[in-house]
A = this chain, B = another copy of it.
């Protein structure tokens, strides 16, 4: 066994107590000064040990209030079958689509339990985005920023943004007005009104620490990860129709994908 640093040994000790249940979820730890005295180290060293645990998401420090053992959070399962599910509902009459968006399906909540906000704007396509859409750089894009928050929670599940080619969507002027949100049935129901059927969806996922602004908006501290998910929707002709970027709180989300395999001959 190699010699560990003081802060590592202190962090190990506290980790162990959390694992054993000696320190329970939600419980407040003694003040840093008290812990410093208990472990007979300097305050800086004691704080460093606590910072390690905070980075692992095991404890949560609240400035001016105290340090607490983190409660493991219930994760919302986001199953990729949501896309097929949404597609099948896109052509249903309004009444049947109502209150049955993909988010509602994931969370088990109804639309009346959710606070919904959408902000529309128009933006020129950057080089990167234009290449994905297969259009010239600078092409007008409709940018829609979404926030969906369960009324029972303080913070949204994720920060979402969707991009569509403006001239494509403009065929149906209703789609250009955020006042028509939430649109029951979601984006695929909207695309149906302009004759677009999706054939394939590609999802690219990155895991990273949140930026300061994301941490604040999602109500997580910097010791938690986020999913950074880009969804690219292709119509049945292979044209890119939508690019949607979503940032999901890592401690509240689980992603699920099912891959069907072709049979051997």
A interface with B by C-beta (< 8 Å):
8, 11, 44, 52, 55-57, 75, 80, 83-84, 87, 91, 197-212, 222-227, 236, 250-251, 253-264
Contact status B250-A212, CB under 8 Å: no
Q: Which of B11, B236, B250, B264 contacts A91 (CB 8 A)?
A: B264
Contact A212 B260 (CB under 8 A): no
Instruction: Please measure, in the bound complex, the distance between the C-alpha atom of A115 and the C-alpha atom of B258, giving whole angstroms.
Output: 30
Given contacts A225-B250, A250-B208, contact A83 B259 (CB under 8 A): yes
Q: How many chain copies does the complex carry?
A: 2
Of the candidates B11, B203, B204, B262, the one whose C-beta lies within 8 Å of that of A259 is B203
A-B contact pairs, 28 of them (CB 8 A): A8-B212, A44-B44, A55-B222, A55-B223, A56-B211, A57-B208, A57-B209, A75-B206, A80-B257, A84-B261, A197-B263, A200-B259, A200-B261, A201-B261, A202-B257, A205-B254, A205-B256, A205-B257, A206-B253, A206-B255, A207-B207, A207-B250, A209-B209, A209-B225, A225-B225, A225-B226, A236-B263, A257-B257
Q: Which residues of B contact A200 (CB under 8 A)?
A: 258-261
Contact A222 B264 (CB under 8 A): no
Q: Is the CB of B209 within 8 A of A223?
A: yes
The reply to whether A227 and B256 form a contact with Cβ atoms under 8 Å apart is: no
Assess whether B254 is in contact with A206, with CB atoms less than 8 Å apart.
yes
Give 13 A-B pairs besides A199-B260, A206-B255 with Cβ atoms closer than 8 angstroms. A56-B209, A56-B211, A56-B212, A75-B206, A87-B264, A91-B264, A200-B259, A203-B259, A205-B255, A207-B226, A208-B224, A208-B250, A225-B250
